[in-house]
Chain A
Amino acid sequence: MKYETVIGLEVHIELATESKIFCSCSAKFGGEQNDHVCPACAGMPGMLPIVNKRVVDLGMTAGMMLNCHINRTTTFDKKSYYYPDLPNAYQTTQWFAPVAVNGTVEIETSKGKKNVRIKQIHMEEDAGKLVHDDWTNTTLVDFNRTSVPLIEIVSQPDLSSAEEVVAYLERLRSLLRFAKVSDCRMEQGSMRCDVNLSVRPEGSDKLGIRTEMKNMNSISAITRAIEYEVARHIDAIENGTEELVQETRRWDDVKGKSYAMRNKETAGDYRYFPDPNVMPVVIDDEWYDGIKATLPEFPEVKRARYIDQLGLGEYDADQLVESRAFCDCFEEAYAVCGNAKEVANYLISDCMNLLNKKQMTVDMLTLEGKSLGELINLVTEGKVSRPNAKKILAVMFENDINPAEYAEKEGFIVSNDTGKIEKVIAEAIASDPKAVADFKGGKEKALMALFGKCMKELKGNCDPQTLREMLIDAVNKQ
């Protein structure tokens, strides 16, 4: 018999906010244990939650990027359960009126394009982390991650293979990074995924028994886990190897197997109810339109525009739309210098090299597009040589400098003073009569020694073509 797989995903994404969702503690990843903690996120009595407006901004942005309806009145609810990393013994989340509902995400796989429906996106707080110390056989709690804002994106069960799941996750990642909702880094846990999966005979309209795998945090592990689970389900149905039950399972990527979690951890009545301390958030037209106006073009729209209107090659366009930071810088620089190819070259080769050298990701690019455009203008106007432009770029990468002022100050401006160039040439010729003789004797290469000497003396601030011509003139006159 042929089977089909039915998969729905719950994707948790940490939002790129400075502070936590209900208090002013830092929401940054890492830090010394329990450094980013205050009485509110440590669950002490008397603190009241104040909604971080930025979280709602990003929740709405995510909703709009995924074509959702935005609930103009959105509310927060409490979800109760006991766990030591949850200091209040409840998580504040959205149950009754999530910020966004009914969206769609288009994915593309080897089988073509497909729409995946989004059930809802809700905002909530993250839990802390437990740290197990085997040496003393104790468990300690780190509350740094407690109340870090998350959105959870719940899809409908529209996915049917690991390939589709991967395409869906990549698409979410691309859209949300583009909209600066999150850096979506699975390895740091800022994007995590619960996979709900069942298997049924092809063509059947009845769903099979569903299992859930929680907190998957790498694309390759998700692929392996789905393939394993599908095989396990089919085996159980065909050969009766085990009885399938609706349960939560843990994926062990090292062993390549999934395990049933203890029943206790899975059974739960979360006793949701509206949080009386958080007033309903009402999104008025001004707020809604303001967020709408900040939405970026979708990556594929940008890509097409870069190719069709700005004349970039496909490779360059693909490289740029990998990252919103690159696109922003590219567009700002292009607005200043009007030379798309040139800007793309600086970003894709020089800036990428600099980022790699500093072990930074593309999203960490802070280069001012305007300055890059100005630098390119200096080059195309012949005021700064290409090698010197690279030196200036390296400085611009770390400091907010005006390239023209900096070039002036550091003596990087190409000299138009022919008197000075002639003087330097005369000195070079005088210091190396052998090279002059060799060149005159037909050794073309001999000129390079003289050329190099002059360029060095001029600190590179000379148009190479001009220098070359003047040098040949001078040597021939000897």
Chain B
Amino acid sequence: MYITKNGVKTDKAIVLDDMILTKDMPTTAGSRMLEGYNSLFNATVVDKLTDAGYEIAGKANVGEFAIDVMGETSHFGAVKDDEGNLSLGSAEILKKEKVKAAIQLDVNGAPRRASAVSRLVFVKPTYGTVSRYGTVPVACSGETVGVMAKSANDCLEVLEVISGYDAKDGTSLPADMIEEAGEIKRVAVVTAFDGSIDDGVKADIDAFVKTLEAKGVAVEKIDGAGLLASKTAWNILMSAELCNNVSRYDGVKYGYRTSDYTTIDELYTNSRTEAFGDLLKTAILYGSETLSDENYMKVYDKALRVRRVTVDYFDSLFENYDAVLMPATSKKAYGEADVKDMAYEENLYTAPASITGLPAVVAEGVQLVGKVFSEKALLELVKLCKEGE
């Protein structure tokens, strides 16, 4: 049982990462810009959970606006595991406390990477099945609210609670548009990433393939080179949307305001210069460039085409397979020094599901990406693999 701050004993404790807005707790998005910011409203997922009898245990640290490798850019400092490797706040809380699950906004794959290195389960459901109302917006065309837990069962339980149509989110899918995918019987293993992953990750994939085969799932190796373009395209789309979404933090209405200004332009510039970290600034500059008059057709529009092509590519794979198995990370663990300048590289493995909105499940250090509305089937497959262990 988990005992909350208010002394409530519960086996339904939930931790929220700091991208999920709450009325009675600050939400910082890991940024100095929003230090002490209190939302006027709760995210839909928060209300759904508390309505269903879950207790919000608290908020967990994230990297600034959740675009980094694994929380290393948080204004409040990085979180380390017991070995001194990088981890995410949610993952460490799950490992150490008796909480049921963590709710996270998967913007650029950090929760998937953290689950892989921490041997936790994370489900990023199909885009549009869980409301994004009340989440700090970063890359709205692909970011998804997901669930991290110690088991596939816990993920299934909590996912059931937070899913469902929400009239306050224009991209939320009505129930009649959702047709759950069937059981996963055929899995394709992507080899195109083999050159970039370390032996530990390779061993995890091999081990998972063996388990699948032992459970009677058909496994076939495919090249999957069509997934390699997702990273660059996603970096373009994410940065562009981020640049636009964080423009609202200008020091005028709320959030950090510089004390050093005399004109409105200085108020904007100095507030943002002082409150934003380096990675975020890089993303803003990059995003701003990609959307410029000069570059829009050359860069941004191309990235939208890659998104379309990638959706088609997955569709072609799903003619023969029910899910695609691939790594979630290049490494079994990240030291803090390892991840410098890696945020736009390490998402090579997470970008395909981010850019397409397809569901992904990370478990046993590997990642499964499935057809639309297959998140439950993917979690059931993970459950099957754990049976008899």
Contacts and interface: CB of A to CB of B under 8 A. Distances in A.
A50 interface: yes
A49 interface: yes
B313 interface: no
Contacts of A346: none
B132 A80 contact: no
B196 to A, nearest CB: 29
B250 A276 contact: no
Contacts of B248: 43, 45, 87-90
Contact of A276 (B133, B241, B253): B241
A276 B171 contact: yes
Contacts of A80: 243-244, 247, 291
B182 interface: no
Contact of B293 (A45, A90, A269, A278): A269
B264 A39 contact: no
B192 interface: no
Given A89-B248, A276-B140, A276-B241, A48 B264 contact: no
Interface stretch (B5-13, B36-44, B317-325, B373-381): B36-44
B88 interface: no
Given A78-B244, A88-B248, A50 B167 contact: yes
Interface in A56-96: 78, 80, 82, 84, 87-90
Interface in B226-268: 240-241, 243-244, 247-248, 250, 252-254, 264, 268
A85 to B, nearest CB: 10
A49 B167 CA distance: 10
Contacts, number: 95
A46 B244 contact: no
B39 A46 contact: yes
B135 A46 contact: yes
A88 B171 CA distance: 19
A458 interface: no
B137 interface: yes
B211 interface: no
A277 interface: yes
A96 to B, nearest CB: 10
A89 B39 contact: no
B137 A279 contact: no
A149 to B, nearest CB: 16
Interface in A7-51: 39, 42-51
Contacts of B137: 45-46, 48, 277
Contacts of A44: 39-40, 253-254
Given A43-B248, A46-B41, A276 B141 contact: yes
Chain B interface SS verdict (over half):
loop
A36 to B, nearest CB: 16
Interface in B163-203: 167-171
A175 B83 CA distance: 73
Nearest to A79: B244
A277 B247 contact: no
B43 A277 contact: no
Nearest to A39: B40
A243 B40 CA distance: 53
A355 interface: no
Nearest to A51: B170
Given A87-B253, A88-B247, A50 B39 contact: no
A46 B170 contact: no
A358 B199 CA distance: 85
Interface string A266-288: 00010111101111000000000
Contacts of A277: 137, 140, 170-171
Given A39-B40, A271-B244, A273-B244, A48 B252 contact: no
Nearest to A42: B253
Given A45-B136, A89-B247, A273-B296, A279 B170 contact: yes
Max chain A C-beta neighbours (<10 A), residue from B247, B288, B291, B293: B247
Contacts of A274: 304
B349 interface: no
A470 interface: no
A141 B170 contact: no
Contacts of A271: 243-244, 288, 291-293, 296
Contacts of B39: 39, 44-46
Contacts of A45: 21, 29, 34, 39, 136-137, 248
A277 B140 CA distance: 7
A94 B250 CA distance: 24
Contacts of B268: 82
A330 to B, nearest CB: 41
Contacts of B243: 80, 271
Nearest to B241: A276
B109 interface: no
Contacts of A43: 248, 253
B134 interface: yes
B274 to A, nearest CB: 17
B170 A278 contact: yes
A139 B252 CA distance: 11
A84 B263 CA distance: 12
Contacts of B136: 45-46
A81 B284 CA distance: 14
A249 B55 CA distance: 59
A146 to B, nearest CB: 11
Nearest to A84: B252
Considering the complex of A and B, which 8 residue pairs feature the smallest CB-CB distances, nearest first? A89-B247, A276-B141, A271-B291, A46-B134, A46-B21, A276-B140, A43-B248, A45-B136
Interface of A: 39, 42-51, 78, 80, 82, 84, 87-90, 139, 141, 269, 271-274, 276-279
Given A89-B248, A272-B296, A273-B240, 11 more contacts: A39-B40, A44-B253, A45-B21, A46-B41, A48-B170, A80-B243, A80-B244, A273-B244, A273-B296, A277-B137, A278-B170
6 contacts: A87-B252, A89-B244, A89-B247, A90-B248, A271-B293, A274-B304
